[in-house]
Amino acid sequence: MTNNLVKMLVVLAFSTSPSFAKANHAQDGRDFSDKTGKHSRHHHRAVHHRTHRLLPTDNLSCVANTAYHEARNSDANLQAVANVVKNRLLAGWAESYCQVVRTGSFAYSSGEIRNERYARALEVAEKVMTDALPDNTGGAVFFHSQRLRHLPRWAKPDNRTARIDGNVFYRDDS
């Protein structure tokens, strides 16, 4: 593996860590739990997210684009990455799929993609978003490439939920 590829994998792994994601999610450190201890959604309008002007604006394209760039090697991996985005949405990390992608340090492209694998990513993303495909990650909200030599601090073996075609998936127990 080239040094540049290793550096890119490390940056992606660490940038999707719980502490990084939550720091970007709630930049001022406030606790957004409601009275039951669950994450409240009311604050999201006040959070200033990084701007990605060229990212697609419709939810299906956001999820498909991310799944394609993170996991186009297999349908199971496309499904898994789409489920991570969906699980973050369901956990209250954002109000839309596109907001999850924008704030989650996922790989994506601003250019138009036209090929068979991207068409398949669109199909899989739509099925995940409409519950036509099950969550094959076991509720994961984080993942990294299994090729990493040094695991991120957040990648605790007890939180591992799945290993799918080159990626390892984790739930968040913090």
Estimate to the nearest angstrom the gap between the alpha carbon of 43 and the chain centroid: 20
Q: What is the DSSP letter of 157?
A: G
Provide the whole-model pTM.
0.69
- Comparing 48 with 145, which gets the higher pLDDT? 145
What is the percent of the chain where pLDDT is above 90?
49
The answer to whether the beta carbons of residues 55 and 101 sit under 8 Å apart is yes
Average the pLDDT over each of 87-91, 98-102, 128-132, 151-155 and give the range with the smallest value.
Answer: 151-155
Question: How many CA within 13 A on the CB side of residue 39?
Answer: 15
- Compute how many other C-beta atoms are within 10 angstroms of the C-beta atom of residue 94: 21
Indicate the domain borders of the chain.
3-24+53-170
φ/ψ (deg, to 5) at 162: -165, 160
In total, the chain counts a number of residues equal to 174
Structure tokens at 106: 């996922």
The answer to whether the beta carbons of residues 167 and 81 sit under 8 Å apart is yes
pLDDT bucket at 173, cuts 50 / 70 / 90:
confident
3-state secondary structure 67-102: HHHHHCCCHHHHHHHHHHHHHHHHCCCCCCHHHHHH
The answer to whether the beta carbons of residues 77 and 165 sit under 8 Å apart is yes
Look at residue 14 in the predicted model and tell me its pLDDT.
Answer: 45
Round to whole Å and give the CA distance between 17 and 130.
27
